[in-house]
């Protein structure tokens, strides 16, 4: 198989994955997104319900990214799923950049950024949460571009879901625990004076 066919089949498999998983996630998230949009509309936040930013997509084409103006339950990220289904974003890819962003113009970064759709999540977003000092987003995006594939995409998607879910479950567990005072664990008849 020549390089052009391999690249086309990889892109096709990635696009199919984006459409299948993106559509399923959008269908599951739709009630929460509608509720979030209604809650924001009731609050009458300045600037409206949606935040709009112009970003650079596949082949350097600009597109307008719209997302809910909330971070609660990561609804802002979930509200970008229509962009995945439409093809502006991929589920996994390099960090989306604004037109004219200096990161897009760095030596060697231009050509691979042109060939890939930016991602809803990506290696840079997942690793940036690790707090490691060597996890520079530009280098991680480039690493993803050089080693991209379906298996890596699935690992990144799993990690993107795993970390916030684990943090949310920890928060629920902490709220559900009863707090013991110093005296709750003492035997009956125990006295400090003894």
Domain presence at residue 188:
no
190 within some domain: no
For a pLDDT cut of 70, what percent of the chain falls above it?
Answer: 72
Task: Please check whether residue 193 lies inside any domain of the structure.
Answer: no
Read off the tokens for 70: 């909330």
Residue 183 in any domain: the answer is: no
User: What is the reported pLDDT for 122?
Assistant: 92
| Domain that includes residue 98, residue range | 3-173
For 127, half-sphere exposure in the C-beta direction (CA atoms, 13 angstrom radius) is: 18
Residue 186: inside a domain: no
User: What's the confidence (pLDDT) of residue 178?
Assistant: 53
Instruction: List, for residues 123-177, the tens digit of each pLDDT value.
Output: 988 886 555 555 588 888 888 999 999 999 999 999 888 877 777 677 776 765 5
In a domain, 63, yes or no: yes
Residue 182 lies in a domain: no
Other residues' Cβ atoms within 10 Å of the Cβ of residue 168: 12
Q: Is residue 191 part of a domain?
A: no
Q: What's the number of domains the chain is made of?
A: 1
Rounded to two decimals, the pTM is 0.74
Q: How large is the average pLDDT for residues 106-127?
A: 80
Token reading at 187: 């035997």
């Amino acid at each position: 198989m020549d390089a052009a066919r391999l690249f086309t089949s990889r892109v096709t498999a990635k696009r199919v994955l984006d459409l299948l998983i993106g559509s399923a996630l959008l269908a599951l998230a739709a009630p929460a997104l509608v509720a979030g949009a209604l809650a924001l509309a009731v609050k009458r936040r300045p600037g409206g319900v949606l935040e709009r930013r112009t970003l650079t997509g596949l082949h350097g084409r600009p597109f307008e990214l719209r997302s809910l103006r909330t971070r609660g339950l990561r609804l802002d990220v979930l509200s970008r799923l229509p962009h995945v289904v439409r093809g502006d974003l991929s589920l996994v890819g390099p960090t989306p950049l604004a037109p004219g962003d200096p990161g897009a113009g760095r030596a060697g970064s231009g050509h691979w950024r042109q060939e890939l759709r930016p991602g809803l999540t990506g290696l840079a977003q997942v690793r940036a949460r690790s707090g490691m000092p060597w996890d520079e987003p530009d280098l991680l995006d480039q690493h993803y571009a050089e080693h991209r594939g379906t298996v890596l995409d699935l690992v990144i998607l799993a990690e993107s879901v795993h970390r916030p879910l684990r943090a949310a479950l920890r928060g629920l567990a902490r709220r559900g625990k009863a707090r013991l005072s110093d005296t709750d664990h003492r035997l009956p008849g125990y006295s400090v004076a003894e």
